Amino acid sequence: MKALVISDRSEIIDFVTPLLKEKGFDLIHYKWIIKALDNIEEIQPDVVVLSAEEYPRHWKILAGFVQSGIGGNGVKVYLYETTKLSVEDAAKADELGVKSFEKEFKERQFISVEIAFNELHGMIHFESGKYYKDEELIEFQFTPENKVSLTNDSYLNYVSFFDGNDITSCSAEVKEINGNNISLMVREL
């Protein structure tokens, strides 16, 4: 996957680069938007990231150009912004299918929690882990201290977690087992 980042500002490059690399993108960087427009057909990026502040008129041209299919099919355009877009620009971004880079690629803020869960055969485990929640999902990550017999897609009927203030109970499904690390997705609170 390729990400085209268009910016002449080092603070933008320094912020977006690690987030894109973490998602598995190879980066192509241009300082000038006109040069990027000239080469976009050859580059065929999956994602384009630029700033409406740096290129107040040209970002709309680039987004329309990409939407036409010349730069490839299904190319997603993201605006990196330090200030809020005007109502007119926000409407134009919505019309062109341009999304906010910070909303889409923001780093997850995990909270430390204590987790208790029952395996299918009744064994109760107490683990320390991390908890993440946004509008769409709730996820736990932990490395078990003792052996567990969980597999990908295992369903846990009883999971409780303590975030330092509150105890919450739920059911969860094993999202992924990666080495010793286990990720759980909450299914029902």
Whether the CB-CB separation of 82 and 52 falls below 8 Å is answered with no
Token pair belonging to 96: 């062109």
pLDDT in tens, 60-115: 999 988 888 777 788 999 998 867 888 999 999 999 999 988 888 767 667 888 99
Type of residue at 22: E
Do strands 76-79 and 47-50 pair parallel, antiparallel, or not at all (unpaired)?
A: parallel
Q: pLDDT by residue (tens digit) across 9-62?
A: 888 888 888 888 878 899 999 999 999 999 999 999 999 999 989 999 899 999
